[in-house]
Amino acid sequence: MNDKAQTGQTALAAKRAYWGNLIAEWKRSGQSQKAFCIERSFVLSTFQWWCARAKRRDATKAARPFLPIALHAPSVVEVELRSRTRIRFEGEAALQAVARLTARVK
């Protein structure tokens, strides 16, 4: 990753943290979003956008992208790439391929 991209990622992480803290503060306050924003001179639509983004992010984190599977040797795993190339693993190699693939995806 180049320096510019890394700086952008750092800035985005800082914004997420900032707005995440404000959202947590709002939830503890018991105020409506409108009252909270007026009191702190925030633009309501910006606050609502960050609330929606945080909600989507939390929902994505909660979703499990894969279901657990149990593989027992002898197993066969076949992977088809976008190029339509197929790779087939059998036996212990299949178990190792699945373990490496899932580790990379996580």
pLDDT digits 0-9 by tens, 66-98:
666 666 656 777 878 788 888 888 877 777 777
Query: Among 105, 106, 98, 100, which residue's Cα sits nearest to residue 76?
Result: 98
pLDDT surpassing 90 at residue 101 = no
The model's pTM is 0.53
Query: Among 54, 13, 57, 24, which residue's Cα sits nearest to residue 36?
Result: 24
User: Radius of gyration of the chain from Cα atoms?
Assistant: 22
- The C-alpha atoms of residue 61 and residue 46 are separated, in whole angstroms, by 23
